[in-house]
Chains A and B, each alone.
Chain A
Amino acid sequence: MNSSIYAYGAIIICAVITIIIRALPFLVFGKKELPPVVDYLGKVLPGAIMIILVIYCLKGVSFTSAPYGAPELICVLICVLLQIKLKNSIPSIAISTALYMILIRTVF
């Protein structure tokens, strides 16, 4: 029971911290007229953020010890090729994730 109450506390803390972080840019830029540079950043930031997110997802992968990140790199590459070919995210995600799950169990 104690650990259950602790878990609710942890969830509330995480929720509060997250909402504060999310609200921050809106508190800073929400009140007044937007300066043009913020408008510009809103347009170009996603391009930089998205690739950093991909790198962030792969940060736990070890490239210095076997299998040298091979399953991750193979599946990311296949995902890129599928997305270029099919232009539809769902099959690209489903196929590359399934392949990844197979690769880490069998080959690597």
Chain B
Amino acid sequence: MEVSKEVKENIKTKNLKEIKDLKEKPGIDKRAYSMSRTFLYAFGQSSPIIFSYIVVGFAFGIMMQEAGYTPLHVLFAGMFIYSGSLQIAMVPLMVAGTSLPVMAFAAFIINSRYMFYGIGYTERFKRQGLLYPYMIFAFPDEVYCVFSSTAYPTGVDPDKCDLLTALMCHLSWISGGLLGVFLGDAVSFDMSGIDFAATCLFVCICVNQWREYKSHIPVYIGVIAAALCIIIFGTENFMLPALSLSLVLLVIMRKRTEEAMTETEPETGFDKVKDSFMEERNE
């Protein structure tokens, strides 16, 4: 009896150690990951993006087709630009024959927000090895949304999950555009307003974050920064100043925000029981 108990203890501590290792160094034991689980989780977390990308990509495809551009243009734009807001804004610019330097400037203004997205993702993307540059490239608003709220469940390979998510989103954006350019003629239905799907997606992510974040200080900072910058710079140019201002405010408020984010609240029943048990023992 005694021996078996000891063995049991040993196995238990060994398991605990393995779990701890896995948590500390993701990817240390590949056998613990299940490919199908990883795929399902990546697909699940990407599904709202895939949906809205096909819808908004479709709208882009139709715009291009109506402006007289070919499916090959749509394919290249989706593959190599991969930025909804810029691609939709560039169609009227291209139709107007805007000169390429002006186009470059417009692209910079529209997409300057992406500079802020990579902050905090260097370590995570580096783990992709050779595909590190692909992860940096395939990082538009929507993918940033998903990556900022991923919580890998057990059995899900974090690195493969990130890669699959990025690939699935990219592919759905490309296919949305191609569907639009090929089927645009067949669809007689007026599609205006369809790009509201992107707004709704960001709204949903905001709601999820509101639920998950322990502190709402970042959201308040975002609202205040946006409001101030709209007053000062107007609705057309507020994005870059608003992001910079939020970054500065977040750094100033770091101590308070960090305290609020790491506030320990007994989340599970088990924690409560454990806490009360410890209190009793201390008494």
* Interface SS majority for chain B: helix
Whether B70 contacts A4 by the Cβ 8 Å rule is yes
The answer to the question of B21 belonging to the interface, with a C-beta cut-off of 8 Å to chain A, is no
The answer to the question of B28 belonging to the interface, with a C-beta cut-off of 8 Å to chain A, is no
CB nearest to A57 among chain B residues:
B199
Bound-state CA distance A90–B194 (Å) is 14
Whether B111 contacts A8 by the Cβ 8 Å rule is no
Q: What is the CB-to-nearest-CB distance from B144 to chain A, in angstroms, rounded to a whole number? A: 7
**Interface size class, chain B:** 35 or more
Residues facing A in B227-247 (CB within 8 A) are 230, 235-236, 238-239, 242-243, 246-247
The answer to the question of B136 belonging to the interface, with a C-beta cut-off of 8 Å to chain A, is yes
Whether A25 contacts B116 by the Cβ 8 Å rule is yes
**Which of B4-12, B102-110, B167-175 makes up part of the contact surface?**
B102-110
Q: Given B47, B197, B213, which contacts A47 in the complex, CB threshold below 8 Å?
A: B213
Q: Given A11-B81, A23-B136, A51–B223 Cβ distance below 8 Å?
A: yes
Bound-state CA distance A30–B69 (Å) is 38
Whether A42 contacts B119 by the Cβ 8 Å rule is yes
- Chain B residues contacting A58 (CB-CB under 8 Å) are 199
Bound-state CA distance A18–B235 (Å) is 22
Whether A44 contacts B218 by the Cβ 8 Å rule is yes
Most buried by B among A16, A47, A105: A47
Bound-state CA distance A15–B119 (Å) is 21
Residues facing B in A70-103 (CB within 8 A) are 72, 75-76, 79-80, 83-84, 89-90, 92-94, 96-97, 100-101
Whether A10 contacts B90 by the Cβ 8 Å rule is yes
Q: Given A47-B218, A48-B250, A55–B226 Cβ distance below 8 Å?
A: yes
Bound-state CA distance A53–B142 (Å) is 10
Q: Given A15-B80, A30-B122, A97-B196, A48–B246 Cβ distance below 8 Å?
A: yes
- Chain A residues contacting B216 (CB-CB under 8 Å) are 47
Most buried by A among B136, B222, B223: B222
Q: What is the CB-to-nearest-CB distance from A35 to chain B, in angstroms, rounded to a whole number? A: 11
Whether A18 contacts B111 by the Cβ 8 Å rule is yes
Whether B120 contacts A79 by the Cβ 8 Å rule is no
Q: List 27 A-B contacts (CB under 8 A).
A: A3-B68, A4-B70, A6-B94, A10-B90, A10-B94, A14-B90, A17-B104, A18-B82, A18-B111, A22-B118, A25-B119, A26-B121, A30-B122, A37-B251, A40-B258, A41-B119, A44-B261, A45-B116, A46-B148, A47-B213, A48-B218, A49-B117, A50-B209, A53-B113, A89-B47, A94-B51, A100-B196
List 15 extra interface pairs beyond A3-B68, A14-B104, CB under 8 A: A10-B98, A11-B73, A11-B81, A17-B104, A17-B111, A30-B126, A41-B120, A47-B222, A49-B243, A51-B206, A54-B206, A97-B194, A97-B196, A101-B193, A101-B196
